[in-house]
């Protein structure tokens, strides 16, 4: 019998009630999630990244994809402030909009852990994530070391300088109104998208004019408008700002080691696969080499050979997706053998 049925994989909501978070409380906090497969199979936790909702996670879920729901029990989680879990855009007054409290990765992981306990998951086989999802994988390994067996991160730790540029373009716009806008601040969101686009792809991607692929866009201007401006206009501006706070305050070493990253990462016992892209402007492989050197007995570095920069990790490009599929399957096989 096959347990793979996307029609049954609808978004569900766990109601936490009153939840204390970094910036105060969320009075009726909700974590949105989806499950795929048989709950008796090994569990893979796959949280969202920045600018992602739960349906985007299905790029990697399927019988012929990286995460096979006929073999694994897959749980995808929506970050707080992504518009599906509790967010500035969907929380009633007086905690709505700019009054929504700041939320940390620790807050997200504790909430996700509560959901997994509700689902009866005894142990996590792997936490895997792209970008902000990768940061969450590190936090899982540090916060619940006895609960997580493996973590696979495609781009991961904090880069505050990257978040400041797009965020400044948004909050300084003439229509953002300090978060008290009555209609979506199009000027700010469009500027945000253009700044974000410049970081998202590697320089080689632009040099090779990959935005002309298939003839969908005749030039760079139309690509930025059709892809990046249009994409950001689907989001609530306060949601984006709150998510950026989670990202830029995401140093995992402050949880228990006072900011000592080497000490923190060296304490991780979960086996790790770290996969930056060779042209990533967010998380360059050189930085990841340093991080993996702090985990010499548990982590492995594999660089994605792509011109797609940071966006290689989200699987939009088929060769990148195939490369990640092969490496993650190899990682699963290697770690399974070492456990026997």
Q: What is the pLDDT of residue 159?
A: 57
Extents of the domains making up the chain: 6-159+252-339, 163-242
pLDDT tens by residue, 90-144? 999 999 999 999 999 999 999 999 999 999 999 999 999 999 999 999 999 999 9
pLDDT tier for residue 155 given thresholds of 50, 70 and 90 = low
- 262: which residues sit within 8 A by CB, 6+ positions away? 294
**Range list of β-strands (E), the chain:** 12-21, 24-36, 43-47, 73-77, 124-130, 150-154, 271-274, 299-301
DSSP E strand stretches across 173-259: none
339 pLDDT above the threshold of 70: no
Structure tokens at 30: 């909700």
Q: Report the CATH number of the 6-159+252-339 domain.
A: 3.40.50.1820
State the helix-helix crossing angle for 237-248 and 132-143, rounded to 10 degrees.
Answer: 50
Bridge partner residues of 124 (DSSP)? 43, 148
Q: Which residues of 65-80 are buried (b: 16+ CB within 10 A; e: fewer)?
A: ebbbbebbbbbbbbbb
Q: pLDDT by residue (tens digit) across 156-188? A: 555 556 678 889 999 999 999 999 999 999 999
Catalytic residues: 131, 280, 310
Q: What is the DSSP annotation of 99-135?
A: GSPP--HHHHHHHHHHHHHHHT---EEEEEEETHHHH
């Amino acid at each position: 019998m096959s347990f793979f049925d996307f029609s049954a994989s609808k978004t569900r909501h766990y109601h936490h009630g009153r939840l204390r978070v970094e910036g105060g409380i969320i009075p009726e906090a909700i974590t949105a999630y989806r499950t795929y497969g048989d709950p008796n199979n090994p569990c893979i936790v796959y949280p969202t990244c920045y600018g992602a909702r739960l349906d985007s996670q299905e790029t990697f879920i399927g019988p012929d994809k990286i995460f096979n729901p006929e073999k694994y029990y897959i749980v995808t989680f929506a970050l707080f402030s992504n518009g599906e879990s509790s967010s500035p855009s969907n929380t009633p007054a007086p905690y709505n909009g700019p009054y929504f409290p700041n939320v940390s990765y620790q807050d997200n992981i504790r909430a996700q852990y509560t959901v997994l306990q509700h689902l009866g998951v005894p142990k996590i086989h792997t936490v895997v994530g792209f970008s902000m999802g990768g940061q969450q994988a590190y936090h899982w390994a540090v916060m619940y070391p006895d609960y997580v067996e493996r973590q696979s991160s495609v781009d991961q730790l904090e880069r505050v300088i990257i978040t400041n540029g797009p965020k400044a373009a948004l909050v300084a716009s003439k229509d953002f109104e300090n978060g008290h806008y009555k209609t979506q601040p199009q000027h700010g969101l469009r500027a945000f998208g253009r700044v974000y686009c410049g970081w998202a792809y590697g320089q080689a991607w632009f040099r090779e004019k990959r935005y002309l692929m298939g003839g969908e866009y005749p030039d760079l201007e139309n690509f930025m408008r059709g892809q990046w401006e249009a994409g950001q206009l689907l989001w609530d501006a306060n949601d984006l700002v709150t998510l950026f706070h989670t990202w830029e305050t995401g140093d995992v070493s402050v949880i228990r080691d006072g900011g000592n990253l080497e000490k923190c990462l060296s304490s991780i016992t979960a086996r790790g696969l770290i996969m930056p892209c060779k042209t990533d402007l967010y998380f360059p492989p050189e930085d990841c080499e340093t991080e993996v050197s702090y985990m010499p007995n548990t982590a492995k570095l594999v660089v994605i050979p792509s011109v797609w920069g940071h966006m290689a990790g989200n699987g939009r490009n088929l060769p990148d997706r195939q490369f990640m599929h092969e490496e993650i399957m190899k990682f699963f096989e290697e770690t399974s053998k070492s456990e026997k």
